[in-house]
Amino acid sequence: MRKAALAALINLTLFVPTTACFGQTAEQINSLLNKSKFVDTGRTVNTVVGADKTTISTYCNPKSSDQDCKVTALLMMKEIKQHYQSIHRIHVLFYDPRDPHKFRDVEIREG
């Protein structure tokens, strides 16, 4: 009887879907970035929280230079780290609102 109960418990834990617990959700990071004003008002922010990297995508001003995007990504990382210590790397995609197939890619790592 004990072996059957133990086997059932093991099988149950193997088939239960598990989700990673990173301490924050994509919606929380989106809200934080919108409140921080690093993203243009009215522009959407999409975040994907991963185990080793958080990817953020948004639209940027078409007149922004590459340096402007790098500074914005750095400020985003600073703001995120103040609230979520578990995030050590972000990957930010700044899309051109006139041509969504064009984007600038910035990666910021802690340290």
For residue 23, what is the DSSP state? Answer: S
Instruction: Give the per-residue pLDDT at 18.
Output: 38
Tell me: the pLDDT tens digits for 5-25?
Answer: 555 545 444 444 334 445 688
Query: Which pTM does this prediction carry?
Result: 0.75
- Rounded average pLDDT over 43-52: 90
Cα–Cα distance, 20 to 50 (Å, whole number): 9
Distance between CA atoms of 103 and 96, rounded to whole angstroms? 6
pLDDT in tens, 55-93: 999 998 888 899 999 999 999 999 999 999 889 999 999
**Among 90, 94, 87, 88, which residue's Cα sits nearest to residue 107?**
90
